[in-house]
Amino acid sequence: MAKILHPAVQGKSFSFYAEVKCSASPMLYNLSLAFAEVTDSMRHLAARTFSCFTIIADVCLAAAPNSEVHAGITAPWTVEDMVARETADEFRISPEGNWVVWVKSSPDAGKDEMVSNLFLTSLTEKREVQLTRGADHNSKPRWSRSGRMIAFLSDRPVLKQEAKETEAGEDENPTQVWLLDAAGGEPWPLTRIERGVKDFDWIDEMTILIAAEETPTNYLRSLKDHKDRGQAIDDPRQSPPVRLFKVSVKNGEITRLTTNDDWVVTVAVSTDGRYAAVIHARSLSYEFDEKIRPVIVVHDLATGKGVPIHADVPIVPWFAEAEPQIRWTGESSGFYFVSHYSTHPVYRQAFVDQLFYYELSAGKAIKVDLGWERELGLEVEPAFAVIPNGFVALLADGVRFKAARYLRQGSSWQREWLEGDDVKNLFGIEITRDGRTAVYRSSAASSPEQLFQAAIDGNRLSNRAALTHLNSQFAQKTPSRSEVVRWKGALGEEVEGLLFYPQIFERGKKFPLLVMIHGGPLSMDLDAWDDRTSRPMNLYTQRGSFVFTPNYHGSGNYGLAWAESIGGGKYYELEVPDIEKGVDALIARGLVDPERLGVMGWSNGGILTVALTVASTRYKAASSGAGNVEQTSDWSYVKFGAAFDNYYFGATPLDDPQLYLRKSPLYDLKKVRTPTIVFSGSEDRAVGHAQGWMHFRTLQQLGQTDVRFVVFPGEEHGLKKLAHRRRKVEEELAWFEKYLLKTAPPANEAVKDNSPLAQELKRRSIMIVGTNYGMLLKSTLVPEVVPFRGLELGRFELTRAQFAAFDKNYRIEPGTENYPANNISFSSAQAYCTWLSKTTGENFRLGKVEELESIYREAQPNENTLDYWAGYSVNPDDAARLREKIGKLGGAAPLLKEVGSFPGRGNGEMVFDLGGNVAEWVVDKDGSGKLLGGSADQPSDPHSPESQTTLPYTGFRVVKGP
């Protein structure tokens, strides 16, 4: 039990206690807070004492940075952790409830973007199967009715010819329906539709319902024949109707089911396969003006006939770029769906998500009374899961969702709050048909995301077990501690947000603060893992800064009144004071240095960043990504411009041009004194690319502060290319290090990474005692260890001089003191580590196979191996012939070189000879010794399963830590 005196209550009459739990990694994932010494009267005292800034009791701790808790050796967070984070989405449970299929997004270096593949995980045993591979985008896995097959959407080329056309610059491969056997095997394409499939669902074991564009007209074919890529905006001639078709699984035969003249968005087929709930978009300009709303139509799949559903209130089941949520009951008596509700008669820019139920026999949709003013959670999918006689829902509740079970009783539903494992941190849930097992996404602001399963007994979750192991490198890293904070904002109303602590926190000391503002505005910061390209929290906390993420007025998950509070012309008027008052409250707590404030955001966060730099000169650095400064052009150019601006400003620029001038920060940029970096994608239609140019040119021409503008060619609102994501984060880090943190060394763009000059400059940090590599510890020459891939790893293989300090009988030829210690057995290597630990009082050991195998494998090329000596890639036959010649060189190991003779590896501290010189002893999973890494006497052969190194070419390097 480790006692943590929370910094916010330091010196007060009560304290918090936290039980620190560590698993296989040094990351402290779980700290459960218990109010061991807090009485009711003390709680009242706390509330009064911190009336300006309330500390919420359920602090989101993953690793306390205070001196009372020692987190052990951890690796630093990297840019790659932010831009290439693995995720698990679109999880679906098999009909019998034994498996879950899900989509894993991971980086692909060749494609330079994230790709998605299907995985299958057992719910009854520890087993995971990767179903698809490659650099494609695979999505929407759906089980067949029997569970024997899985259908999914993929942009993988159906034919080799299509792949060649794509490479030659033609349109990308259209998305098709693919099938695979759940027992394993190669997927095969079911459809070959020219313009791709929009959505699909299973009707029965041998039939799939798809939504696809009608076959191209002669007009469209003529455009294609002439290579005419011009696009007439909102022209139905260039956007054929999206209709329903049946596809035979047996032979791929397609049968048209409907002849509608609108555009099907999504389909959901009833469990018995008789009906489909289908969302139809009825206007190509709906996203822009929200005038003609989409409808849900119930189609009879035997005839194709459709009946639009009706309710006592307007139904808006879909908005662009959001995943509609429709779920049929198990007995096919009806379906639940989400509708977006607002008090505005036209626009759905600020809304809450309401749950409706449509019963086939009644022919009418009724609103489900959730008994919760804030309604369903926003930006969570699935937000509800159907169970026998009801559903489980995740309700909106600020920075978290509140999980509840609802059981139907006649025309109403009775609620029970969900209890047990993870209920405060559920972010999407699916449940087996029998209602006994849940699969859900869970994380916290200080605990990375995974998929879990848990048993359901009534309203209780129990026996949780992790199903995924995403981002395994995070296990060697310590996330920042975070806490939920509240303060009085605009209008004197309580505002909520999250505060992330510097990783090295000292009480009584003031730290820089970086305000990270979410987009939307109808988005929110959740107590969920969210480190990514636009929000790299841990990169800044490990550099010694607080990070503050406020849920200002207009944010989602706080109810309709909060969401609508900035509409009708109040945009900017409440959000900016909310954020400013939150910063003031942190300064008042004595945590933040008021002279070291920074602000950044993307999209609406970028917009508010601009507004803050106009409103105040106290921010020392700013980053505005995809933000706008001029509203009239925003109204006409942005794909949702009229709907957004008409709602939030309360008028069009045609009706009130002066209002649009007043709401445009462009004309107030003369007030800005904050050094600002601006980012924009050249194809952005959510915030016009020209906005970045206007922001940049105005600040540049005013000349009152530094400004930098980085454009990402071909990118839309969110950056897809990994190279662009890295560039964004690295440029931004350099900007804040220079202007806010004051830690940036002078940049020299003439020095190329990994060039001989760069290597030589990095070598200046290598520790040397006299002429020997290493360092003196208690008068003993010991190896230097440096941070590398989450480990404290020996910079070099153990040298002969270092080994001789342990074994006085170890012979060294003069001049070879810095050669690797060789002819070392596994037991001798272990004995050295034991001796070194005892001598220094610190823990040293050999590395483990599971933590080093991939590192050694990656390092094989261009090292001191037989390939280097031969001058070519040596195969096993030539290796045997070369040994005769090598024997003529004399000595037991004549091919060894001084450690560090070849270029090092690592972006920060360099590590040498991982792929050559001597093969190195590590500990295998059964505790035995295993040799990894290349050696000078063996070729660099990736096809050899085991090292063939002889004893004269064996050595080791140390790892420091547990």
Q: Summarize pLDDT for 601-640 with one digit per residue, the tens.
A: 999 999 999 999 999 999 999 999 999 999 999 999 999 9
Neighbours of 341 (CB within 10 A): 19
**Which of 340-354, 662-676, 876-890 is the least confident region?**
876-890
Range of the domain at 893: 767-960
pTM: 0.80
**Taking residues 656-668, what's their average pLDDT?**
98
Does the pLDDT value for residue 531 go beyond 50? yes
The pLDDT of residue 73: 43
**Taking residues 708-725, what's their average pLDDT?**
97
The pLDDT of residue 739: 97
Residue 239 falls within a domain, yes or no? no
Q: How confident is the model at residue 31 (pLDDT cuts 50, 70, 90)?
A: very low
Separation of alpha carbons 513 and 541, rounded Å: 9
Q: How confident is the model at residue 763 (pLDDT cuts 50, 70, 90)?
A: confident
* Strand, helix or coil for residue 589: coil
Query: Per-residue pLDDT tens for 186-209?
Result: 999 999 999 999 999 999 999 999
Query: Per-residue pLDDT tens for 76-131?
Result: 899 999 999 999 999 999 999 999 999 999 999 889 999 999 999 999 999 999 99
Task: From 7, 143, 109, 1, select the one nearest 66 (Cα to Cα).
Answer: 7
Residue 667 falls within a domain, yes or no? no
Q: What per-residue string of b and e applies to 317-334 under the rule 16 or more CB within 10 Å gives b?
A: bbbeeeebbbbbbeeebb
**Taking residues 704-725, what's their average pLDDT?**
97
Residue 920 falls within a domain, yes or no? yes
Does the pLDDT value for residue 8 go beyond 90? no
Residue with tokens 């539709």: 193
Does the pLDDT value for residue 455 go beyond 50? yes
- Stretch (H or E) spanning 44: helix 40-49
Cα dist from 607 to 562, 700, 722, 841, whole Å: 19, 18, 24, 54
Residue 828 falls within a domain, yes or no? yes
Domain count, the chain: 1
Structure tokens at 741: 């943190």
In sequence order, the 6+-apart residues with CB closer than 8 A to the CB of 649 are 569, 571, 631, 656, 659, 660, 663
The pLDDT of residue 4: 29
Does the pLDDT value for residue 558 go beyond 90? yes
* In contact, 529 and 448? CB cutoff 8 Å: yes
Q: Chain-centre distance of CA 723, in angstroms?
A: 16
Torsion of CA 526, 527, 532, 538, to 10 degrees: 140
Does the pLDDT value for residue 744 go beyond 70? no
- Stretch (H or E) spanning 776: strand 775-777
Residue 703 falls within a domain, yes or no? no
Query: Per-residue pLDDT tens for 325-381?
Result: 999 999 999 999 999 999 999 999 999 999 999 999 999 999 999 999 999 999 999
The pLDDT of residue 675: 98
Query: DSSP characters for 60-88?
Result: --SS--STTS---S-BPP-HHHHHS--EE
Residue 896 falls within a domain, yes or no? yes
**Taking residues 534-546, what's their average pLDDT?**
97
**Phi, psi for 929 (deg, rounded to 5):** -85, 145
**Taking residues 743-757, what's their average pLDDT?**
74
The pLDDT of residue 942: 64
Does the pLDDT value for residue 12 go beyond 90? no
Query: Per-residue pLDDT tens for 176-186?
Result: 999 999 998 99
For 252, left (φ over 0), alpha (ψ -120 to 50), or beta? Answer: left
Residue 337 falls within a domain, yes or no? no
The pLDDT of residue 68: 27
* In contact, 760 and 645? CB cutoff 8 Å: no
Identity of residue 248: S
Q: How confident is the model at residue 231 (pLDDT cuts 50, 70, 90)?
A: confident
Q: Chain-centre distance of CA 530, in angstroms?
A: 6
Residue 621 falls within a domain, yes or no? no
CA angle 84, 482, 11 (to 5 degrees): 155
Query: DSSP characters for 352-414?
Result: EEEEEEEETTTTEEEE---S-TT-BPSS-SSSEEEETTEEEEEEEETTEEEEEEEEEETTEEE
